[in-house]
Amino acid sequence: MRSRLSFIVMGILGLLVGACLVTLLRPQDQARAPVWPVVEVAKRVEPSVVVVLNQRKVRERVETKGMGSGVILNRAGDIVTNYHVVQGADAVTVVLASGTRYRARVVGIDPPTDLAVIRIHAHNLVPIHFARSADIQPGQLVVAIGNSLGLTHTVTVGVVSAKDRVMYRDGWEYHLIQTDAAINPGNSGGPLVNDRGELIGINSSKIAQAGVEGIGFAIPSDTVQYVVQQILRYGHVRRPWLGVTLQPVPNHQLGLLVVSVASGGPAAQAGIRPGDLITSVNGRPVNGLQDVVHVLEQSRIGQRIQVGLLRGNSFLSLSIQLQEAPMNSPAA
């Protein structure tokens, strides 16, 4: 009896030792392998990303003429996208990650930043979380999600190539995030997020020409938040306005020539005339349009700025009280 019991105990111990050896020598389970953070980021962000359809009336029918992406801002149904995604639309339709469709209303647009806010009446929406774009660093991991080429919720991965690319267009100064994450038609208006799934930018454009790859741009989240707050409060973005058209003078490094002055505008009221040469703003030399735009960006509506100018052979200093810019007008 005792020998049989010993045999049973030894058998059980042998099975346990064998099981331990198998466990130690077996390759790690796929299920226990570390998950790449992009997988979790995509799962977290996907419910906050929508498809935006730009629809136009063609004869008696409404047809989809363009597709883009959008990001859910809050549970009230506000969504941010690019202005060029909804530009010229007779109707806008939003498709949630679940596939449910909603007719959207355009709350407000801001062509200078290429942003727009649209609204749907829906329930159980999942807003995205914002991060400060001022805190991002070149080289950090980023994920872009959007309706790339009509393929919904496409995920691409890259890094922040540069955090403050400055570009100028139509008199406006743009500060953009550069990334090598693939951005294609349809990604416009979609999110660029960090490794925690927080929004750091809205994808807006890429350089599309032969021999150029991996250069895309996103509107920083700090800009997005400011523009969205202005649109939701006023229906548009309120900006200070100088009321002049300026251009460089050939072979003249200092100063900008006043080409025209808006009737009744701030510059006209201060006495600025066409033909004047603006040489300084708030004591800072003016070497290019960006010097004027930079001061305006740091100013408020109603604030006075000091403008130094050359009129003929005379140097003048005029005080100008900034007004709110008319819709879609350049700052200067």
Annotated active-site positions, please? 84, 114, 188
Q: How far apart are CA 252 and CA 285, in angstroms?
A: 13
Whole-number Cα distances in Å, 61 to 105, 259, 319, 330: 19, 46, 55, 37
Whole-number Cα distances in Å, 51 to 48, 80, 110, 278: 10, 11, 20, 46
| 36: its two tokens | 């790449």
CA–CA–CA angle 85, 87, 93 (5° rounding) = 60
On whether the CB atoms of residues 131 and 137 are closer than 8 A, the answer is: no
**Strand, helix or coil for residue 15:** helix
Q: Which of 139, 117, 137, 87 is nearest to 224 (CA)?
A: 117
**Strand, helix or coil for residue 223:** helix
Q: Which of 75, 68, 167, 154 is nearest to 122 (CA)?
A: 75
In this structure, the number of other CB atoms found within 10 A of the CB of residue 276 comes to 23
| 92: its two tokens | 């806008």
**Strand, helix or coil for residue 115:** strand
Sequence-separated (6 or more) residues with CB below 8 Å from residue 236 = 108, 109, 110, 230, 327
Outline where the chain has alpha helix (H). Answer: 2-25, 37-45, 83-86, 221-234, 266-270, 289-297
